[in-house]
Amino acid sequence: MNRDWVEKDFYEVLGVSSDASADEIKRAYRKLAQKYHPDANPDDPKAEERFKDISEAYATLSDPEQRKEYDEVRRLVESGGFGGFGGPGGFGGAGGFGGQRVRVEDLGDLLGGLGGLGDLFGFGGAGGRAGRSGPRRGADLTAELYLSFEDAVRGATTTVSVRGEAPCSRCRGSGAEPGTPVRACPTCGGSGTVAQNQGLFSFTQPCPQCHGSGRLIDKPCSQCRGTGTEVRTRNIKVKIPAGVKDGATIRLRGKGAPGRNGGPPGDLLVHVRVGRHPLFTRRGNDLLITVPVTFTEAALGTKVEVPTLDGKTVTLKIPAGTSSGKTFRVRGRGVHPAKGKPGDLLVKVEVVVPRKLSREEKKLLEQLATYETSDVRAHLKV
Ligand SMILES: [Zn+2]
Ligand SMILES: [Zn+2]
């Protein structure tokens, strides 16, 4: 929680201008630190207070990153966007809010876009940290899943093994010893937050008694010592949608590590690897298969039985005069994804030339050659 950034002018504390160089800031700090150092001012609480302020200001302004963020906060504060901050004593009265109290969660949202400035106030956005002791979202866990080609095409329900933080198996994540009560926190009434008013602003903070969980435990669980979590291997059921692609990541919301202090659990990210198939390959939602035919089949035309992934075959008519490499499309016989249009089966014809010929075959082919009239290399002649 760095509320001081909103309230204190560190440049004024060090007596330098807001565009002071790093050297100027350092010199100003050394001079003031010597003057107000507690050793030089024994039993002077005012000097001690001043020394603390100087140290805080210097700690922020001497770090270029922090100084940049601080400047941004101050710029927002002074731009009037927050109604303007008056002189000493906090927030100058009539501001842009028409006297309405500003809840600082909103301020956190507003600043959330500015490189995590929202965190300064202790409220993260989604997935951010919310103060050191407030509710914290659980970590995302990852798992690798190997699927067969068929399972990826058809979809499957399977389990993945995940080792990581999980709800404690003894107390089921409550943190309380089984049989002992979990009470609503009296300080925050179970909400996990307490509001603190300061001038125009109302700051919401994680409740100091229950650390934001809203619950109090009489007797901590003997297995997890009250944390509600333990590290173990879990088998988690995963429903894989039909048509999942190799390399895809499936996010299972809430199946990651449990949150702390009432924060939500993280997600489980399942990375999918898909195996090969001896006959089929995939291009998006299309399935590709190569079908060998003989020269005579390609020349005279034929019908071939083509296997599909669902076990049935389709009959494909190869017209007379089909060249090797020609691809035929069988509509709708590819991958049927859970979402989107079904793919096609692409059948590539490959003319197979025999390595060896029988005596009869050779004789007939030689005879055929004498009849061949077309010059297939006519276009290569110069
Ligand atoms: Zn436990
Ligand atoms: Zn509480």
70-113 pLDDT, tens digit each: 887 777 666 654 443 333 333 333 333 333 444 444 444 444 33
Query: Per residue in 142-179, pLDDT tens?
Result: 999 999 999 999 999 999 999 999 999 999 988 999 99
Q: Are 291 and 305 in contact (CB under 8 A)?
A: no
Q: How far is the CA of 224 from the centre of ligand 2 (A)?
A: 21
Q: Is the pLDDT of residue 116 over 50?
A: no
Tokens of 234: 């879990």
- Sheet bearing 286-294, strands edge to edge: 281-283, 286-294, 345-352, 327-330
Name which of 121-125, 283-287, 332-336 the model is least confident about. Answer: 121-125
Give the number of whichever ligand sits closest to the CA of residue 229: 1
Strand partners, 156: 240
For 267, phi then psi, to 5°, come to -105, 160
* Count of Cβ atoms closer than 10 Å to residue 351 Cβ: 17
Q: At what angle do helices 22-36 and 45-61 cross, to 10 degrees?
A: 160
Q: Please tell me the distance from the alpha carbon of residue 266 to that of residue 255, in angstroms, as a whole number.
A: 6
Q: Which residue has the higher pLDDT, 200 or 213?
A: 213
What distance in Å separates the CA atoms of residue 326 and residue 348, rounded to the nearest whole number?
Answer: 6
Distance 166 CA to ligand 2 centre (A): 24
Predicted confidence at residue 121, as pLDDT, reads: 42
* Residue range 285-313: mean pLDDT, rounded: 94
61, 74, 202, 259 from 5: Cα distances, Å = 11, 7, 16, 29
Which residue, among 171, 65, 153, has the nearest Cα to 115 in the 3D structure?
65
The CATH T-level fold of domain 141-181+220-274 is HSP40/DNAj peptide-binding domain (2.60.260)
Return the pLDDT at 3: 63
Our separate counts of H helices and E strands in the chain read 9, 16
Average pLDDT over residues 301-306: 96
Q: What pLDDT score was predicted for residue 42? A: 77
Instruction: Give 78 Cα–ligand 2 centroid separation in angstroms.
Output: 34
**pLDDT at position 123 over 50:** no
Selection from 170, 162, 161, 163 nearest residue 227 by Cα:
170
pLDDT tens-digit readout, 210-263: 888 888 999 999 999 988 899 999 999 999 999 999 999 999 999 999 988 888
Superfamily of domain 4-97: DnaJ domain (1.10.287.110)
Distance of CA 137 from the midpoint of ligand 1 (Å): 18
Q: 187 alpha carbon to ligand 2 midpoint, in Å?
A: 5
Mean pLDDT, the chain, rounded, equals 83
Cα dihedral sign, 344-350-351-356: negative
Consecutive H or E run containing 24: helix 22-36
Q: Residue 275 above 50 pLDDT? A: yes
CB 216 within 8 Å of CB 209 = yes
* CATH superfamily entry for domain 281-371: Urease metallochaperone UreE, N-terminal domain (2.60.260.20)
Spacing, Cα 200 to ligand 2 middle (Å): 24
Of the ligands numbered here, which is closest to the C-alpha atom of 187? Answer: 2
Structure tokens at 213: 């969980």
**Cα torsion angle, 9, 14, 19, 22, sign:** negative
Q: How many Å lie between the centroid of ligand 1 and the Cα of residue 180?
A: 12
* Average pLDDT value for residue range 282-299: 95
Which ligand sits nearest to residue 222's alpha carbon?
1
Task: Please tell me the distance between residue 220's alpha carbon and the centre of ligand 1 in angstroms.
Answer: 7
Q: What is the mean pLDDT of residues 11-16?
A: 88
Coil vs helix vs strand at 35: helix
Does the structure show a pLDDT above 80 at 124?
A: no
CA of 221 to the centre of ligand 2 (A): 19
pLDDT recorded at residue 101: 43
Ligand 1 center–CA 169 separation, angstroms: 6
Distance (Å) from CA 222 to ligand 2 centroid: 23
Closest CA to 274 of 142, 148, 144, 143: 148
> How many residues in the chain?
382
Residue 232 has a pLDDT of 92
Ligand 2 centroid, distance to 82 Cα (angstroms): 29
Q: Which residue has the tokens 């008013």?
A: 197
Q: Which of 11-20, 155-164, 250-259, 335-344 has the lowest mean pLDDT?
A: 11-20
Residue intervals in the chain for CATH 1.10.287.110 = 4-97
Number of C-beta neighbours around residue 204 at 10 A: 21
Structural tokens at position 67 = 């100084």
Pick from 335, 347, 329, 346: which is nearest to 309 by CA? 335
- 371: CA distance to ligand 2 center in Å? 98
pLDDT over 70 percentage in the chain: 84
pLDDT at 302: 96
- CATH 2.60.260.20 residue ranges in the chain? 141-181+220-274, 281-371
Q: Could you tell me which residue, 89 or 47, shows the higher pLDDT?
A: 47
Closest alpha carbon to 273 in 113, 184, 138, 151:
151
In the reported structure, the alpha carbon of residue 135 is separated from the centroid of ligand 2 by a whole-number distance in angstroms of: 11
